[in-house]
Amino acid sequence: MNDIDALRPKLDRLQRGFLLIGVLGLAACAFGAYSNWTLFLRSYLIGYIFWLEIALGCFAILMLHHMVGGKWGFIIRRSLEAGSRTFPLLALLFIPLLLGHSDKGLYPAVTGSSFKAFYLSPDFFTGRVVFYFAAWMTLAFFLNRWSSQQDTGTTDGLLHRFQALCGPGILIYGFTITFAAIDWVMALEPNFFSTIFGMIFIIMPALAAMAFVIIVTMLLAKRKPVSDVATPLKFNDLGNLLLTFVMLWAYLSFSQFLIIWAGNLQDEIPWYTVRATGGWTWVAMFIILFHFAVPFILLLNRPVKRNMKALAAVGGALIVMGWIDLYWFIVPSFYPLGPRFHWTDFVTPIGIGGFWLAFFVRALKSKPLLPLHDPRFEGVVQHG
């Protein structure tokens, strides 16, 4: 029942299509970089973090699933694994940012002998980037390898190994993404600091990735083998997880806002005054409405969660909102008066996304679309 061959030609075509989009997009990016390096870097940062978030979220949810078990992981596990296998590509795509780190139009210089200057110095910055990717790739490597072993029927001690790795793995994920968020996003405004910032960036990828795998599952569910197990109840569970992440995102974001607003201190408040005035007011309102209020109300409804197309539509909207949210996080650091679009803002996510999706499809088709021989999923297929 786990036959992927019927789908293979379709997936091959998809992969080639994405690759073509990626090549064209990155070619346009290269032109953008040639014509204006700083503006290109600013766009590239958003596009890059947007796709990295989806990969990281897949990786985090995969580890969470191994830790707590749960039937909800069965249907999305292969998508999560495929997402976590894109880290080598993402490491490669980080190179422009590494080259651009010293560009003053991206990250303002922090000089002097302060801890911040030391922390954000180019060498330390590069060292941390290497460490983050090494940690993510190592963990993802073992998770995928053991999962393939499980498919062949070897189950001896694998569950225990998964759990033994994922406990510390989630811890490592939490800390690496926290510091990555500080390095890559918070450092755009060196005077700003917020202790909850890392936590917001722990949740954002999970939200984006959950929305992404819901869409992938909806597409796969049109054919066998996924169509056999894609019951409304499964999507209900996935919808509940999506709702949880939406609420967590709102909770953490609101906490940060309320505390900084109440404190009204000179180091912190400019971050919000810029993002809530001028042209940014509307962006902020839009985010509150469509990254929280509307999806929150929609996801409270059972019919929406049980209809996979409706759920995937909400997921798609949340992915777009994730990009807008990221834009609102990053761009006001460069343009405090309001949004100013540059054509590379739109080309970079497409270029990176084309490559990333091609890699994702390649990883997805290399394994059966549903995990085999996992004792935790015994009875899931039969019982639906």
Partner 1 sequence: MAATDPENAATLVSPGSEVLGPGHTYGSVTDKISSIVLTRGTGKKYKAGLALAIVLLLMLNYAVTVLMAVGVGIFGINVPVGWGFAITNFVWWIGIGHAGTLISAFLLLMRQKWRTSINRFAEAMTLFAVACAGAFPVLHMGRPWLAYWLFPYPDTMGVWPQFRSPLVWDVFAVSTYATVSLLFWYVGLIPDLATLRDRATKKFKQVIYGIFALGWRGSARHWKRYEMAGLLLAGLATPLVVSVHTVVSFDFTAAIIPGWHSTIFPPYFVAGAIYSGFAMVIALAVPLRKYYGLEDFLTIRHLDNMGKIMLATGLIVAYSYIMETFMAFYSGNPYDRFMIMNRMTGPYAPVYWVLIAVNLVIPQVLWISKIRRNPLWLWILSFSVQTGMWLERFIIIVTSLHRDFIPSSWGMFYPTRWDWMVFIGTIGLFFTLFYLFIRFLPMISIFEMRELVHKTAEESTH
List contacts with partner 1 (CB under 8 A).
Answer: 69-71, 114-116, 119, 159, 163, 167, 171, 174-175, 178, 182, 193-199, 251-252, 255-256, 258-260, 262-265, 267, 375-380, 382-383
Q: In this complex, which beta carbon is closest to partner 1, that of residue 134 or of residue 258?
A: 258
The tokens describing 304, both together, are 């929406």
User: From the CB of 90, what's the least distance to partner 1, in Å?
Assistant: 24
Q: In this complex, which beta carbon is closest to partner 1, that of residue 71 or of residue 342?
A: 71
User: From the CB of 213, what's the least distance to partner 1, in Å?
Assistant: 20
User: From the CB of 116, what's the least distance to partner 1, in Å?
Assistant: 5
The tokens describing 166, both together, are 């994922």
CA distances from residue 40 to 47, 105, 210, 332 in whole angstroms, order as listed: 10, 10, 29, 16
User: From the CB of 157, what's the least distance to partner 1, in Å?
Assistant: 11
User: From the CB of 167, what's the least distance to partner 1, in Å?
Assistant: 7
Q: In this complex, which beta carbon is closest to partner 1, that of residue 272 or of residue 360?
A: 272
CA distances from residue 163 to 62, 85, 167 in whole angstroms, order as listed: 11, 19, 6
User: From the CB of 378, what's the least distance to partner 1, in Å?
Assistant: 6
Q: In this complex, which beta carbon is closest to partner 1, that of residue 212 or of residue 271?
A: 271
Q: In this complex, which beta carbon is closest to partner 1, that of residue 342 or of residue 376?
A: 376
Q: In this complex, which beta carbon is closest to partner 1, that of residue 54 or of residue 260?
A: 260
Sign, CA torsion 48/52/54/55: positive
The tokens describing 167, both together, are 């406990």
Biggest alpha carbon distance in the chain? 65
Contacts with 12 (C-beta within 8 Å, 6 or more apart), sequence order = 365
The whole-angstrom separation of Cα 48 and Cα 333 is 17
Reduced to 3 states (helix: H, G, I; strand: E, B; else coil), residue 341 is coil
- Exposure string of 191-200, with b = 16+ CB inside 10 Å and e = fewer, is ebebeebbbb
User: From the CB of 345, what's the least distance to partner 1, in Å?
Assistant: 29
Q: At what angle do helices 37-68 and 197-220 cross, to 10 degrees?
A: 80
Going by C-alpha positions, the residue among 86, 169, 196, 181 that lies closest to residue 128 is 181
Q: In this complex, which beta carbon is closest to partner 1, that of residue 105 or of residue 167?
A: 167
Q: In this complex, which beta carbon is closest to partner 1, that of residue 48 or of residue 377?
A: 377
Q: At what angle do helices 72-84 and 37-68 cross, to 10 degrees?
A: 140
User: From the CB of 199, what's the least distance to partner 1, in Å?
Assistant: 6
User: From the CB of 233, what's the least distance to partner 1, in Å?
Assistant: 12
Contacts with 135 (C-beta within 8 Å, 6 or more apart), sequence order = 172, 176
C-beta atoms surrounding 107 within 10 Å: 23
Q: In this complex, which beta carbon is closest to partner 1, that of residue 131 or of residue 343?
A: 131
Asked if residue 50 lies in contact with residue 204, where contact means CB atoms within 8 angstroms, the answer is no
